[in-house]
Amino acid sequence: MTHAGGPPARRPERRRAARIPMPPDGGAVAVVGARLLNVNRYGMLIESPVPMARETVMCLRVLVAGQPADLEARVAVCTPQPGLRCYGVGLEFADLSDSDRERLERALAAHPGDLPD
């Protein structure tokens, strides 16, 4: 949908928390074996060379402030990235323990910047 002569209308933001971008060389949070694009307390967006089926639950090794954590995440969305040979995979954390969520929140609070809605 577009406005007369203008750019396409944006869909309303559905995220429950701001997305925090992570630098390609690593940041407060990193995923072992994947490039982490952004993260918040509820999930993350990674870049994958292969598509992933929606609703798949997987275990990921994540480094939070340099400390390893094995976290389960559900594939919420998987879309091809235009012009690239990869997919953007939106993951929602599943059954995150209180201690892992607190550690993630502390690491993200100490990391500057967030993405615009």
10 is a domain residue: no
In total, how many domains does the chain have? 1
Within a domain: 12: no
For residue 26, what pLDDT is reported? 78
pLDDT of residue 15: 52
Q: Which pLDDT score, from 0 to 100, does residue 89 have?
A: 97
pTM exceeds cut of 0.85: no
User: Is residue 13, in this structure, part of any structural domain at all?
Assistant: no
CATH at 54: 2.40.10.220
List the domain range (segments joined by +) for residue 38: 20-109
Contact 30, 22 (CB under 8 A): yes
Question: What residues contact 40, with CB distance under 8 A and at least 6 apart?
Answer: 15, 16, 17, 18, 19, 20, 108
Give dist(CA 53, CA 80) in Å, integer: 12
In a domain, 66, yes or no: yes
Contact predicate 107/64, CB 8 Å: yes
Q: Which pLDDT tens digits describe the chain residue by residue (117 residues)?
A: 444 554 444 444 455 688 899 988 878 999 998 999 999 999 999 999 999 999 999 999 999 999 999 999 999 999 999 998 999 999 999 989 999 999 999 999 887 654 444
